[in-house]
Amino acid sequence: MDYINAIILGIVQSIAEWLPVSSSAHLAIFSKILDVNIDLWYIVLLHLATLISFMLFFRNDIADYFFDFKDKHFTKKGFWIIYASIPIFIAGYFFHDLIEGFFTDFPLIGIALIVNGIILFSTRFFKPDGKLNPGKGIFIGIMQMFALIPGISRSGITVASAHFAKLDAKEVIMFPMMMSLPAILGAVVYKFFTTPFSIDYAMFFGFIVAIIFGYFTLGLLVKNIKKGQFYKYWVYCVVLGIIMLFN
């Protein structure tokens, strides 16, 4: 892979991973536009870059969210994150080959993007004003499973589900974001052990670019949610989805 393609794909992944527009769909689209087969190890690196940008952005929150340092035990929310992550681990393991085949099915990706847009639009009718509990956590975790389908955004469907579950303004952001930690880490570990090693300098350069863009895109996402503008990405998803139906 050359440097230009690696940089473009790194930027696309880092932006589309956090904005609710589906990074997997955009990687499929840009691989076709650039006429390049994305090396599986580069996908591992991009996921790792996404994880690093997340850990940098939430560096002051991650440890306290999962562990109570005063009483020296895991927090309830930390356990709920683990429970809520089980559905996506199970689905990802058992349906991996089927899901991989979806990446070349552009009409299906188009339909998924349209559904994603409808989900985003519907969040405008739900005001975050409730409390987090195990049932709501599992609900969000089950919904996160559908993000394995290219076109369904992981950040989009989890934040939307947090709206549907009527979490309070803080947890609408924090719980879905913290859920991304085991989900992305699981994807990195799985691909690391199932993918033949192959990395070049262009991939590494794209990896660094993805970390930088991912960090600032996370800031934009959090700002959008706080201002109640999260749903506005629905237009982009629906329009892109319709275009995909005819390609």
Q: pLDDT for 81-133, tens place per residue?
A: 999 999 999 998 899 888 888 888 999 999 999 999 999 999 998 877 778 89
Does an H or E element contain 156, and which? helix 154-164
Q: What residue segments make up the domains of the chain, in order of their start?
A: 3-245
* Entry pTM: 0.91
Beta strands (DSSP E) in the chain are 67-68, 73-74
| CB burial string 122-135: b at 16+ within 10 A, e below | ebeebebeeebeee
| Long-range residue pairs from 56-63, CB within 8 A, at least 24 positions apart, any chain | 56/211, 56/215, 57/215, 57/218, 57/219, 58/177, 58/178, 61/174, 61/178, 62/178, 62/181
194 pLDDT band (50/70/90 cuts)?
A: confident
Looking at per-residue pLDDT, the higher value among 130 and 20 belongs to 20
Contacts of 33 (CB under 8 A, 6+ apart): none
Q: How far apart are the first and last CA of the chain?
A: 25
